[in-house]
A and B are shown apart, each in its own frame.
Chain A
Amino acid sequence: MSIFGFKQSNKSQDQDKKIALLLTDLTSLEDYINDLFSFSPLPICFISPLGVILETNPAFESASGFPGEEIIGESIEKIFIKEEISNITKETLKEGFVAGKELSLLKKDGNNLVVRVFTRTRTDENLKPIGYFLGLFDLSNIKKTEEELKRVQKALLNILEDTEEARRKAEEEKDKTQAIITNFADGLLFFDKNHNLAIINPKAENFFKTDKEKIIGKTLKELINVSNFGKLIGFLGPEIKDIFRKELIITKDFIIEVSAISMKKDEIDLGNLVVLHDVSREKTIEKLKTEFVSLAAHQLRTPLSAVKWSLRMVLDGDMGKINKEQKEIMEKTYQSNERMIALVNDLLNVARIEEGKYAISPTFIDMVKFCQSTVDSIADGFKKKGIKFKFIKSSNKPIMVFVDEEKLELVIQNLLDNALKYTNKPGEVVLSLKETPKTVTVEVKDSGIGITKGDQARIFSKFFRASEAILIEPGGSGLGLYMAKNIINSHNGKIGFESQSGQGSTFYFTIKKQK
């Protein structure tokens, strides 16, 4: 029973037994350690104080890619970066251990593996180091995950930054837009796609002396009953059609210019923006001017009519007999006075044109009745001149239009006046009303002198007079058709004519009907 093979005494036999037992224990312990060393999933090696690899375990071999026989006896520097590993060796020998230093393991296949290194010295009985254990902890997966995490984190941060930037920008934009809307010199309204009032700026609130809280979110139908606001809503119509700088009289002293723009993005209806520009001041000045001209014209007419009537009665013999010479002179004076009257009438017309160009105050009227009353006022003139006159209506049913009555009357009167002036006996003038489902056309057809081709292009120009017309009516102002065109344009209508020299003319205008 002796491993050493020599005989021993009884006493020493007991000792031998003990030693044998101890040796058995030692052997099994060695096996155990060897097994554990081989089994350990952690790569471990044993290195001499001079840095020579003395032992490796399978996990170490698989981690480094070197079989044991290729690295045992080699310098540890073969598989680590020289500086890094020499520091580890030094520290281990000095401190007894290194816990968790990160190093690069140079694998056989040329790749680097990031590992965490743990070491511990082994000493002899005199506590002199005889080498050290070096264990590796493969960090590559953790590194990978860590890198991945870092990337994700960075991406996330970037996204957050971008989002924050976008939010800040949006906020800034919103603030800017809000500031613009709030401080805009004009009134601004925004109706959403369902035609509910979504935005009103302080200027517009002020215009209508209303409170935002009371009207925001309301529909057009609800808004039409809000005192001054209703006028605008009525003006915009149920569809909020696009409008460009149309005038609207809110009160006598408050006139606004309205523009409505439908807002679209990628063909999607966003709503309608309505811009209100206060033109009251301009209007007041304009009105003062018009009033001045009207008053001046009226004041001028008063003495002119007194002169006219006095001369006429003297000439007619109402004041007693006058001699031939007196009669001749008075007749000339009478004619001069007539010219003066014509001039004043033109002056009045100019004042009314300028009005027609800007201020339109429309109401709902029946076109049939309206034409009839204009016809009544002019019919005498046709009779006097011996020209046939006809008024043809499509039916007696009312045709409702939304127009400035006074201005439109000027237009019809002008067209009829022209027809009368430039049609000779025994001519014919026909006023007719024609309807389509949406529009009404007023047409004045005469059998008069017509307009030459050369004059046709300029017929609506200010102060233009056709050459033939001058011969017949030398005193005309050339303002009638200019004024008519202005008025019809301001009603969003169309005016035009067809004419042939010597064959007569047909003038017409078309405006929208109201239901």
Chain B
Amino acid sequence: MKKILIVEDEEIMLNLLEKKLKTHGYKVFSARDGELGLSFLREQDSPDLILMDLIMPKLDGFSVMAEIQKDDRLKKIPLIVISNSGQPVELNKIKELGAIDWLVKTEFDPQELLEKIKKQLGE
């Protein structure tokens, strides 16, 4: 069973994502802020994919990605950014920080996200 880590502070979004992914046969781990997400990554086995928000308490998505980049093990994990922010300049920044894809939540629905994940995991 493929493991996915969701780092998202918005409870309802987190619940919806967990539900959607679990329904489609993924093992889901979740973290409610950047700090928790990062310590999960450092302490546990690598998940197969990370879904991460950008604007979060304690540690934002950019900082988490910067930390991931410093770790040879973690930087191999594919990471998709899910955010409400849609500034084009941010896209370049998160690309530089190693994200493989980016979704603006209002522009995508859970089904489309699921398809992206499947494609990414080669399913």
Cross-chain contact A409 with B88 (CB below 8 angstroms)? yes
Query: Which of chain B's residues 72-107 have a Cβ closer than 8 Å to chain A?
Result: 84-89, 91-92, 95, 102, 105-106
Specify the chain B residue showing the minimal Cβ separation from A384: B112
Dominant SS among interface residues on chain B: helix
| Residue from A302, A319, A409, A410 with most neighbouring chain B CB atoms (10 Å) | A302
Q: What 0/1 readout, one digit per residue, does chain B (34-59) give for beta carbons within 8 Å of chain A? A: 00000000000000000000010000
Cross-chain contact B105 with A316 (CB below 8 angstroms)? no
Cross-interface CB contact of B105 among A305, A373, A374, A377, cutoff 8 Å: A305
B12 at the interface (CB under 8 A from A): yes
Which of B16-24, B25-33, B61-69 interfaces with chain A?
B16-24
Cross-chain contact A298 with B110 (CB below 8 angstroms)? no
Which of A86-94, A143-151, A306-314 interfaces with chain B?
A306-314
Q: How far is the CA of A305 from the CA of B109 in the complex (A)?
A: 9
Q: How far is the CA of A306 from the CA of B9 in the complex (A)?
A: 12
A354 at the interface (CB under 8 A from B): no
Dominant SS among interface residues on chain A: helix
Given contacts A298-B55, A318-B20, A318-B23, contact A305 B89 (CB under 8 A): no
Residues of B within 8 A of A310 (CB): 12, 16
Number of interchain pairs (Cβ within 8 Å): 63
Cross-chain contact B84 with A318 (CB below 8 angstroms)? no
Given contacts A298-B55, A318-B20, contact A308 B105 (CB under 8 A): yes
Q: How far is the CA of A345 from the CA of B104 in the complex (A)?
A: 11
Q: How far is the CA of A302 from the CA of B95 in the complex (A)?
A: 23
Cross-chain contact B106 with A301 (CB below 8 angstroms)? yes
Given contacts A313-B16, A348-B86, contact A318 B91 (CB under 8 A): no
Q: How far is the CA of A309 from the CA of B85 in the complex (A)?
A: 16
Q: How far is the CA of A372 from the CA of B86 in the complex (A)?
A: 18
Q: How far is the CA of A377 from the CA of B13 in the complex (A)?
A: 24
Q: How far is the CB of B7 from chain A (nearest CB, A)?
A: 16
Cross-chain contact A308 with B109 (CB below 8 angstroms)? yes
Cross-chain contact A298 with B12 (CB below 8 angstroms)? no
A405 at the interface (CB under 8 A from B): yes
Cross-interface CB contact of A377 among B16, B91, B110, cutoff 8 Å: B91
25 A-B interface contacts by CB (under 8 A): A298-B85, A301-B106, A305-B13, A305-B84, A305-B105, A305-B106, A306-B10, A306-B13, A306-B16, A308-B105, A308-B109, A309-B110, A310-B12, A313-B19, A313-B20, A318-B110, A319-B19, A345-B106, A373-B91, A373-B95, A377-B102, A405-B89, A405-B92, A406-B87, A406-B88
The residues of A with any CB-CB pair to B shorter than 8 Å are: 298, 301-302, 304-306, 308-310, 312-313, 316, 318-319, 341, 344-345, 348, 373-374, 377, 405-406, 409-410, 413
The residues of B with any CB-CB pair to A shorter than 8 Å are: 10, 12-13, 16, 19-20, 23, 55, 84-89, 91-92, 95, 102, 105-106, 109-111
